[in-house]
Amino acid sequence: MPMIHHTEHLEQRKESLLNNSMFSEDLFALYRSLFSLQFQSLQHLASIITDSKLIVDTTQYPMIQPHTLQFTDEIIADIKKMFKNIAALITQYQTAYSFDTLLANLDDNPELYKDIITALLSKDSTFEAIALNNKLDTDELIFMAVNAYKPLFIALKDAALQDITQFPDYTEGLCPFCGFLPDMAKIVESKNNKRFLHCALCECEWEYKRVKCVACGNENTDTLGYYSYEPDEKYRFDYCNKCNTYIKTIRITKQHDESQFDLTVENLITNFLDASALQMGYTRQ
């Protein structure tokens, strides 16, 4: 499986990003540095993860279970570096943020690395409690945790799923590999207009029914719909009036090569869609 280099996709979209009034030069620079940190970490982790079976069980969904997570000291050393580097990067651009308490607590108690990712994947209230204990908003800790752990989860996915391109009989809206939430969807015309979801953590993609809410499973067309973004109709968000959530979607027509679109970067580019959806009263899952 080729390693996606988000920095390249980001650079290719530089012009459209900087024309977008919601995306500043600083934000662009922050993401470029972040993607570059993640790429370095991914290359290193890919070289040290020789046996993903310690963590991944491909006979069940999701293939990673939060309560069975165990990391070697070498993996923890890499994660530690990611937390420190990401904290330094964010505070460089957003001086109001401070991760000092979190970094100090992680130094005192290395078990916290595992607690954070376990709580993130378990999606329970312990995550909010950890954020509070470390003087962070939940969203700040989610950003940190997802970005610090992303290279590890991608490396595990690449090691475990070399020959698997789909997930038989899997119909859920959560990632079949790591159990985390999708950040975006795509509809691919050249694949019979099938819809695929993209995991915000391990970046795995899986097929999901076209007309079905990703968050609550609602299939009633009276309460499902989408809004297209008129200046560029490949972008839209799909909403559900039953649970009031939305998911952003990119529609890739036959004229375009699917590999041109990196959904991690598309998710950043389409922040204007989030703004419209939130303004209309929908929430992100």
* Interface contacts to Zn ion, rule CB under 5 A: 175, 177-178, 180, 199, 201-202, 204, 213, 215-216, 218, 240, 242-243
**Nearest approach, Cβ of 108 to Zn ion (angstroms)?**
30
**Residue 17 or residue 205: which is nearer to Zn ion going by CB?**
205
* CB contact at 8 A, 267 and 255: no
State the minimum distance, in angstroms, from the CB of residue 93 to Zn ion.
27
When the beta carbons of 19 and 221 are compared against Zn ion, the nearer one is 221
68 or 94, CB closer to Zn ion? 68
Provide, rounded to whole angstroms, the least separation between the CB of residue 245 and Zn ion. 6
Phi, psi angle pair for 246, to nearest 5°: -140, 160
Minimum distance from residue 169 beta carbon to Zn ion (Å): 18
Of 140 and 203, nearer to Zn ion (C-beta) is 203
Shortest Cβ 179–Zn ion spacing (Å)? 7
Report which of 120, 202, 200 is spatially closest to residue 155, judged by C-alpha positions: 202
Of 10 and 64, the one with the shorter C-beta distance to Zn ion is 64
Q: Are 38 and 6 a contacting pair, CB within 8 Å?
A: yes
Nearer to Zn ion, 159 or 240 (CB): 240
| Smallest gap from residue 127 Cβ to Zn ion (A) | 17
